[in-house]
Amino acid sequence: MNKKNKVISLFGNKKVVKNEGVKYSELLEIFMSPFQNDFSEDFFLEDIFDFAILAWNFGNMKVIAPNEEFEKIIATASKEDINFSLLKKMIDHKIKNFKVYTNFIVDFELNETDNHPILSVITQEEETYLSNMMNNLDGQMTSNDFEENYINRYAIVIKPQQPFFHWLNALYPEDKITEVEENNIYLVSDEIDDVNTWLKKKYDRLFKMELDDWHTNKKEWPQKRTYKMFKQWFNVEVSTMVYDLEKKPVYKSEG
């Protein structure tokens, strides 16, 4: 099942974990629904929710912040590798149709139950969210605080284990592999509080990238992937100190 179809099926799912009071998990699904076809099939489901939450929170911010201040805030997003025109469209949609729902969405979780994705979200009231945001800004380090050549990323090293090779060798029996010489390394934000908790939420994205690296036919991938299975198939190592010893800037390919 591709990502777009999975999102569509989620919108039709009635088994939604609901927050106390206002059902923000359900609101988020309704909020995203008109834009489901605006996302490429290359998008991971988690990334679509991240994008929608960003638009939701920017919509809240636009209502309460002076125009000049909001333009400074959203200008930071325009520099990122995102669909900025879609972001602005979703922000306007949030203000027009969901203005009365003022909580900010700070986290979400997707769980599979009977092959149905179930969404739950964590929200913060406006005052709490803004207070936390100001505290984080006050506590940010300046460039002088960083050690020279330090990169503000964590590195996650994924090493395939025997169950992975068993699956791969069943597909390519004439070319059996028992180990790999190089392992993939994934850089993630150093603002993640607990990488293990993050992995429990994001493991399937890494799982899919590892599978796709060796075999692109998704129909022949293991279909019922769990975090337990991920830990059996891959050894995961995390480095919280990453340094760049080169003078040239890091190149990031588009795509």
pLDDT value for 97: 93
What's the chain's Rg over C-alpha atoms? 20
pLDDT value for 147: 53
pLDDT band of residue 8 (cuts 50, 70, 90) is: very low
**How far apart are the C-alpha atoms of 110 and 118, rounded to whole Å?**
5
Instruction: Provide CB contacts within 8 A for 177, sequence distance 6+.
Output: 165, 168, 169
Helix (H, G, I), strand (E, B) or coil at 237: strand
- Tell me the per-residue pLDDT of 60-105, one tens digit each, with 9 for 90 and over: 999 998 888 888 888 877 666 778 889 999 999 999 999 999 999 9
Percent of the chain at pLDDT exceeding 90? 38
Is pLDDT of 40 > 60?
yes
Query: Which phi-psi region, left, alpha or beta, contains residue 115 (left: φ > 0; alpha: ψ -120 to 50)?
Result: left
Q: Which residues pair with 107 in a beta bridge?
A: 122
pLDDT value for 101: 92
pLDDT value for 129: 83
Is pLDDT of 14 > 50?
no
Query: Which phi-psi region, left, alpha or beta, contains residue 229 (left: φ > 0; alpha: ψ -120 to 50)?
Result: alpha
Contact 206, 183 (CB under 8 A): no
pLDDT value for 41: 76
CB neighbours of residue 91 within 10 Å: 23
pLDDT value for 114: 65
pLDDT value for 158: 95
pLDDT band of residue 36 (cuts 50, 70, 90) is: confident
pLDDT value for 60: 92
SS3 content of the chain, % helix, strand, coil (to 5): 50, 15, 30
Average pLDDT over residues 138-160: 70
- 121, with CB counted inside 10 A (0-12, 13-18, 19+), is buried
Give phi and psi for 242, each to the nearest 5. -120, 130
Is pLDDT of 47 > 80?
yes
pTM: 0.54
Is pLDDT of 169 > 80?
yes
**How far apart are the C-alpha atoms of 60 and 27, rounded to whole Å?**
14
pLDDT value for 253: 63
Average pLDDT, the chain: 81
